[in-house]
Amino acid sequence: MDDLARRFAEFARAFEVGAPLYARIAERVAREPEVLDLMSVTPETQRVPVLLFASAHHLLLAEPSHPLAGHYPNLDRANPEGDVTDHFVDFVLSRPEPMRDLLATRSTQTNEIGRCNWFMFPFWLLDQERGELAHVDVGSSAGLNQLFSKLSFMHRPGGRIGPSRDDGDDLTIECDISGNPPIPTRLPRVVWTAGIDVSPIDVRDDDEVRWLEACVWPDQVERFERLRRAIAMARRHDIEVRTGDAVNDVADVIERATNHGHPVVTTSWVLNYLPAERRTAFVDELDRIGSSMDLSWVIAESPHETPELPGHAGSDELITVISLVTWRDGARDVKRLATTHPHGHWVNWGA
Ligand SMILES: C[S@@+](CC[C@H](N)C(=O)[O-])C[C@H]1O[C@@H](n2cnc3c(N)ncnc32)[C@H](O)[C@@H]1O
């Protein structure tokens, strides 16, 4: 078995329980050299099962009446006819050119609105300390987490908080909480927001949005529907995400933020994309800015992937850890706050 076939076989074993649809397809693809060959155009670092699945999903989203869609829980639960793996193989092999185009040029993308739960508790602490906040989201992707102030949240325990309903938005993000954090009694006041990303997704571009949707696994029906609603919200509001680099461009955005409120930078599963020396450069840049103005930074990253960040040295944890870094009168302080689910379904305070 060659290396790529082995990756599909391993995927099938690893996700048999958590993602049965893709697991079944992966098991079949591992035995289909013609399908594997479609990925010969893919750069080695991207040659992973999820890229093949996202590419097929992307094309399927544009052809929802294809029989393969009958097996995708997010598309059409009512009508699964025939064998899903036959449909999948037939679907991708009969569309070799668009498949190869996607497989040669794309990488998987995430913008997970549930991660607003990661910002909630540090924002609440900062609201209590500093009042109105100006949010600078670095690595913002489509800017969905910049919708923070427009969302409702259901905390268990804690109940519901959210904005007054006068603009037609109604998206509730749920979160199970353990470990007794300070539970917000109202939304933290985020009065301004801007994002930067080296490769932002334009929510008004149907193809880009479809790629973001395609990267969600079809078994995750609720997540898929929530993403669609978040995208619709982002289209209604003027969410600003500029093209920019974390290290080179963060200072300009922070400077603009200071005109509106206390500047709070967030990074959520972004800094793992930077090489180690750029991560260090990002920390140095915030240290430089924080030496001359009060600044806060919410880190929501895996210590294993980002050992250069404050508080991460010496930890090998793969889990997402939420930390709050503050610069006050030039002095830096780092507090580890919580661990959390990759999409924000739960937050374990103090862990
Ligand atoms: C996994 S996504 C996370 C998006 C979002 N923060 C979230 O949590 O849903 C990582 C994002 O980081 C962006 N990114 C990678 N390197 C970057 C850099 N040097 N500067 C700014 N953004 C970067 C990518 O383009 C991508 O949109």
User: Over 90: is that where the pLDDT of 78 sits?
Assistant: no
Rg (CA), the chain: 21
> What span, in angstroms and rounded, lies between the C-alpha atoms of 118 and 138?
14
For 155, the token pair is 């905390």
Distance 80 CA to ligand 1 centre (A): 36
Q: What is the pLDDT of residues 186-216, one digit of tens each?
A: 999 999 999 999 999 999 999 999 999 999 9
User: Over 90: is that where the pLDDT of 170 sits?
Assistant: no
Distance 81 CA to ligand 1 centre (A): 39
With the most atoms of ligand 1 within 8 angstroms of its CB, the residue from 113, 117, 197, 343 to mutate is: 197
Q: Which residues line ligand 1 (CB under 6 A)?
A: 110-112, 115, 138-141, 145, 196-199, 245-246, 268-270, 273-274
Question: Smallest Cα–Cα separation from 302: which of 290, 318, 286, 285?
Answer: 318
With the most atoms of ligand 1 within 8 angstroms of its CB, the residue from 213, 273, 279, 280 to mutate is: 273
CA 111 to ligand 1: nearest atom: 9
**Residues contacting 83, CB < 8 A, separation 6+:** none
For 244, the token pair is 């920019």
**Residue 38: how many CA atoms within 13 Å on its side-chain side?**
28
Tokens 């193989």 belong to residue: 89
> What span, in angstroms and rounded, lies between the C-alpha atoms of 102 and 97?
9
pLDDT bin (cut points 50, 70, 90) of residue 80 is confident
Q: What is the pLDDT of residues 9-67, one digit of tens each?
A: 999 999 999 899 999 999 999 999 999 999 999 999 899 999 999 999 999 999 988 99
> What span, in angstroms and rounded, lies between the C-alpha atoms of 171 and 63?
27
User: Over 90: is that where the pLDDT of 258 sits?
Assistant: yes
Distance 56 CA to ligand 1 centre (A): 23
- Percent of the chain at pLDDT > 70 equals 98
Distance 106 CA to ligand 1 centre (A): 15
Distance 47 CA to ligand 1 centre (A): 20
Per-residue b/e over 70-91, b at no fewer than 16 CB within 10 Å?
bbbebbbeeebeeebbebbbeb
Distance 274 CA to ligand 1 centre (A): 9
> What span, in angstroms and rounded, lies between the C-alpha atoms of 250 and 274?
14
CA 142 to ligand 1: nearest atom: 27
For 213, the token pair is 């949707």
User: Over 80: is that where the pLDDT of 169 sits?
Assistant: no
CB 206 within 8 A of CB 185: no
Identify the pLDDT of residue 238: 84
Ranges 42-46, 119-123, 140-144: which has the least confidence: 42-46
Task: Identify the residue whose C-alpha is closest to ligand 1 atom 14.
Answer: 139
> What span, in angstroms and rounded, lies between the C-alpha atoms of 14 and 115?
25
In the predicted model, what is the mean pLDDT of residues 248-277? 97
CA 199 to ligand 1: nearest atom: 25
Say whether 66 sits in a helix, a strand or coil: coil
- Before 157, cis peptide (omega within 30)? yes
By DSSP bridging, strand 133-138 and strand 190-197 are parallel
Identify the pLDDT of residue 167: 61
pLDDT bin (cut points 50, 70, 90) of residue 168 is low
Dihedral angle of Cα 283, 287, 288, 293, to the nearest 10 degrees: 140
What is the DSSP code (8-state) at residue 82?
S
Query: Could you please report the per-residue DSSP string of 184-203?
Result: -SS---EEEEEEEESS---T
CB 143 within 8 A of CB 240: yes
Distance 161 CA to ligand 1 centre (A): 28
Identify the pLDDT of residue 166: 64
Q: Please measure the distance between the N-terminal and C-terminal CA atoms of the chain and give it in whole angstroms.
A: 42
By DSSP bridging, strand 133-138 and strand 172-178 are unpaired
CA 196 to ligand 1: nearest atom: 21
User: Over 90: is that where the pLDDT of 297 sits?
Assistant: yes
pLDDT bin (cut points 50, 70, 90) of residue 79 is confident
pTM: 0.92
- Percent of the chain at pLDDT > 90 equals 92
User: Over 80: is that where the pLDDT of 130 sits?
Assistant: yes
Identify the pLDDT of residue 296: 98
Identify the pLDDT of residue 314: 87
In the predicted model, what is the mean pLDDT of residues 285-290? 98
CA 141 to ligand 1: nearest atom: 27
User: Over 80: is that where the pLDDT of 147 sits?
Assistant: yes
Q: What is the pLDDT of residues 318-349, one digit of tens each?
A: 999 999 999 999 999 999 999 999 999 999 99
CB 67 within 8 A of CB 85: no
User: Over 70: is that where the pLDDT of 180 sits?
Assistant: yes
> What span, in angstroms and rounded, lies between the C-alpha atoms of 6 and 14?
12
CA 115 to ligand 1: nearest atom: 8
In the predicted model, what is the mean pLDDT of residues 86-99? 98
